[in-house]
Chains A and B, each alone.
Chain A
Amino acid sequence: MSDRSPVLVLSNDLSLAAAKTSRHLCLALARLGYTAVCRDTRLLRWAAAEVEKESPMRREAYETAVVAKWNKFVFDYGIDTIISLDLHWLFSSQLFVSDDQVKRIHSFWFDDLRSHLLAAPMFSLAPRTPLEMMNIGKVSHHCYGTGQAEELRLLGVQRVLPSALAAPAEYLHTAEPCTEQKRFAFIGNPGLASPPTQQALAALQRGENLVALRRLARQEILDGLAAIEPTAAWVRQSPRVVDLLSAATELRLAQPHTAAILLLTQAGKSFPDAFDFLNRSGLILDAALLVKFVNRYDRPGLVHRFWRRGWLDVYGTPEQWKPYGIDAHPTVPFPRLASIYRRYPAHLNAANCARDATANEKLFEIAACARVSLNLDSPDVRACYSQEEIILADSDEALEAAAERFWREPAAAIAMGEKAHQRTADEHLWEHRLGRALV
């Protein structure tokens, strides 16, 4: 019997991945001897926004009712630690951060800072600013990517800790056979929801490599700067923004896995007025996102390359893949994920370009299921697995060559997957992350 205080895990079902991960976090906490309870925020967020819009005079009363409910919950359970997969929870001047019983809040960043700040807070933060809320002493910020962490630090967020994602221990014990020996799989969406340009689609269909696709993406960014709002307004106010972004995106071509905000800062030394304009206008994160978009075709490019070879089964949102000319199977529900991982000898894995974090959850889940993942080489991924355990390729051509070897010899993929499985069991389960975070 544990004498550890219960932990509250806060999720948001609007992001179904968070619903899945929060359940795995609870199971891992239970194995570590904690009592863990999980609750969701989706409806609360919706209602808070509606109250704000439709009945602002009720806002205070509504917030009071919500806070009272949660204070009672925390009190009755004796909760002293909160793990939040949804920062919004912290964003009430009365909720959790002000509750003396709650000693520690671990905020796991699954999203990037810009997306977070663009979403309206649940309740008014006044008199505090978002940054003040984030920097309250009991809150630690866990980032799964070095670029993501760097971005937070540069923007003044304190207590930023690197904390790679991980796999659920349950996946270690799955036993379904590998029945699709001559195929690979990709599970996921294209990344950005917006469809590719005609030019990009043509490049994908011609089989252009990632270097060319990144150049193309960069050119699209620069062409749109003066032509499309809101960036056109930036250019009107500070014309040298074009030079700044041209330099930053050029740097991104050479360093595709370096934090976009670092590249922007570096380029800003040559164009201080433009950098100062973006900084003072609160546009730095928007500009950094444009820099990240240099990589926007990385994931679709890799998927397309394998698809053209007839090797790949894609699982995701079919409507999002259709503009790329790819017929995807429907999204895999959580209970079937592990068996789909096990069904194939190898899985293509590629990061979401918006995050500046490349070691995504799939990296660990595929490994936990004893299958090999095919990745582009990046510092985040390399920090977690070696070349004996996963494929780390420095180009899409190299990745295709590695896949071809596995296509000819699936047993080699399975053997590599076994090594990844062992490494995961030793180092990359949620227990490992939580054990460190909750010390």
Chain B
Amino acid sequence: MKTSTAPQGVLILSNDFLTPFAKTSDYLAAALERRHIPAYVRDNAEARLLTFLCSEEMQAKTPLAQDAVCESLRDLIEYAGIDTVISLDLNWYVTPGLLVDDPAIRAIHSLWFDDFRSWCTSPFNPSFAFDGDVFQQHVKHPKVTHHFYGDSQALEAKLLGVTRQRITRLAAPRQLVQNEAPCLRTDRLAFIGNPGFRGPPHEGAIKLMHDGAEIEELRSYCRDAILEHPDVHSVKWFEDEPTVRNLLAVALEARRRFPYQPALQILQLAGTHYPRAFAYVNEKGIALDVAFLVKLVNRYDRPAFVYRLWKRGWIDVYSAADEWKPYGVDALPYVSFGDLPAHYRMYAAHLNAPNAIRDATANEKLFEIAASGRLSINLDSPDVRSCYDPGEITLVDSLAALEAAAEHVLRDPDAALACGEMARRRSVREHLWDHRIASMLAESA
């Protein structure tokens, strides 16, 4: 229930160009409304389009456009009594003069769904041009708390100077725990999602997958491929400062051995052996780009996970058919948000694997599958292990173990369903958006 220290009104800032943000924004709003806290979801896609237009023919309009963006929210903030902002898109609150400087706003919770590099390298980030100091002032403003869903993601941000931060895991919407649709498919598992990294896969990696290679071999392959087939940027770095190659080689090997250690931390440690290279990386402002290459050691984790069961004919894969095709996987059509609950419930068990580029493995599907009362089979990682125990979910550390776990599900789907029920109970206790909102607001109070 609403307490005296509860916010009067919450503005949730989304970016509908990325519909998963939009979906989560709406789940957060519903969780707030259940606490009788009025919530308003507003989208910044149009503001971003406007930024684009202002960078082209309408450049002279930039100040007016910025005013329009600010005004579009200022009235709502005043009349809806908004005092708290939950931002799923940094662009909004780093717009100078918008939220951070508004005395009505007491707290801004910035939920990081993306990695720092993606944000910094996306076109038209931030919405309107300003110097680096302004950005730093906004990001480090005492009203702003940064929430990271992965331990490594948080550490990456800390290394980059983001101080007011905490771990806030992702979660499931409450309505999933009320879904009692039957389990119709016990002869197959499901995976809902795309392959992760969008670039075309290496032929060698595909061949390894087809030949039944283990995940370790694929990570080793990636380690070598990054060095043997460097992209144009890497070539330039290697030319400028040859020891960067050595730095990267050490970091890639470390990631292969410790696949869930933060890439940036690995890079920093490797930098102690190659100080000149590390200084070059820092000076050039390419630390996040190099760290990204380190993360790519894991790029085939998800495709390999899916392909292993696909080859056995044990899995239905949904969404992004074009992206799955190069892996030899025929995906079923995209599942709309409205149909997700039924699809989760339709199968006794689901595969789950993180997107390699995020350094955060406990993704939303982990919680959504569990809240749906279904078993998820995951790669064993600290993030995932901190949310659910074995018995609630399955944790495997190899493709062979994955295959064995899947076979067990197919032989004994009732056992999988029983695990799913345990996971659902845990979700009800700990892993709904309502829990995250409660702890966020408790902190603000």
Interface residues of A (CB under 8 A from B): 1-3, 5-6, 13, 16, 19-20, 23, 27, 30, 35, 37-40, 42-44, 46-47, 50-51, 54-55, 57-58, 62, 65-66, 69, 72-73, 75-79, 170, 331, 333-336
Contact = CB atoms under 8 A, between A and B. Distances in A.
Given A5-B338, A333-B80, A43 B8 contact: no
A23 B22 contact: no
Nearest to B178: A1
B374 to A, nearest CB: 14
A13 B79 CA distance: 10
Given A50-B58, A77-B337, A334-B81, A13 B43 contact: no
B47 interface: yes
Given A13-B76, A331-B79, A334-B79, A47 B338 contact: no
A51 B9 CA distance: 33
Give the interface centre of B9, B43, B47, B56 by most chain A CB atoms within 10 Å.
B43
A228 B343 CA distance: 66
B130 interface: no
Given A23-B40, A43-B72, A47-B65, 4 more contacts: A1-B341, A19-B40, A47-B49, A170-B36
A35 B338 contact: yes
B338 A51 contact: no
Interface string B326-344: 0000000010111101100
B58 A76 contact: no
B40 to A, nearest CB: 6
B46 interface: yes
Interface string B40-59: 11110111011001001110
Given A40-B43, A77-B336, A78-B337, A333 B79 contact: yes
Give the interface centre of A27, A43, A55, A78 by most chain B CB atoms within 10 Å.
A43
Interface string B379-417: 000000000000000000000000000000000000000
Nearest to B336: A78
A38 B73 CA distance: 15
Contact of A75 (B36, B42, B336): B336
Contacts of A43: 46-47, 50, 68-69, 72
B54 to A, nearest CB: 9
22 contacts: A1-B341, A6-B337, A13-B42, A13-B72, A16-B75, A16-B80, A23-B38, A39-B41, A39-B42, A50-B58, A50-B65, A55-B53, A55-B56, A73-B19, A76-B23, A77-B22, A77-B336, A79-B338, A334-B9, A334-B81, A335-B8, A336-B81
Contact of B79 (A5, A19, A79): A19
B181 interface: yes
B38 A69 contact: no
Give the interface centre of A19, A51, A334 by most chain B CB atoms within 10 Å.
A334
B46 A335 contact: no
Nearest to A57: B57
Contacts of A37: 22, 26, 41
B364 interface: no
Interface string B162-176: 000000000000010
Q: List the 3 closest A-B pairs by CB distance, nearest first.
A: A78-B338, A78-B336, A76-B19
A386 B354 CA distance: 61
Nearest to A54: B58
A303 B188 CA distance: 70
Interface string B15-42: 0110100110010001001001011111
Nearest to A6: B338
A73 B16 contact: yes
A365 B178 CA distance: 32
Contact of B46 (A1, A3, A47, A54): A47
B19 A44 contact: no
Contacts of A77: 19, 22-23, 336-338
Interface of B: 8-9, 16-17, 19, 22-23, 26, 30, 33, 36, 38-43, 45-47, 49-50, 53, 56-58, 61, 64-65, 68-69, 72-73, 75-76, 78-81, 175, 178-181, 334, 336-339, 341-342
B337 A42 contact: no
A336 to B, nearest CB: 7
Contact of B61 (A30, A54, A331, A333): A54
B38 A335 contact: yes
A6 B43 CA distance: 18
B310 to A, nearest CB: 24
Contacts of B341: 1
B40 A62 contact: no
A76 B337 contact: yes
B110 to A, nearest CB: 21
A334 B17 contact: no
Contact of B80 (A3, A5, A19, A35): A19
Nearest to A41: B46
Contact of A62 (B9, B30, B53, B65): B53
B91 to A, nearest CB: 13
B336 A76 contact: yes
B336 A30 contact: no
Given A16-B75, A65-B49, A69-B45, A78 B80 contact: no
Contact of B38 (A35, A51, A334): A334
Nearest to B76: A13
A30 to B, nearest CB: 7
B53 A51 contact: yes
A336 B30 CA distance: 21
A75 B19 CA distance: 10
Given A39-B41, A334-B80, A1 B175 contact: yes
B180 A1 contact: yes
Contacts of A66: 46, 49
A40 to B, nearest CB: 6
Contacts of B33: 27, 30
A73 B49 CA distance: 16
A50 B67 CA distance: 13
Contact of B42 (A40, A58, A72, A78): A40
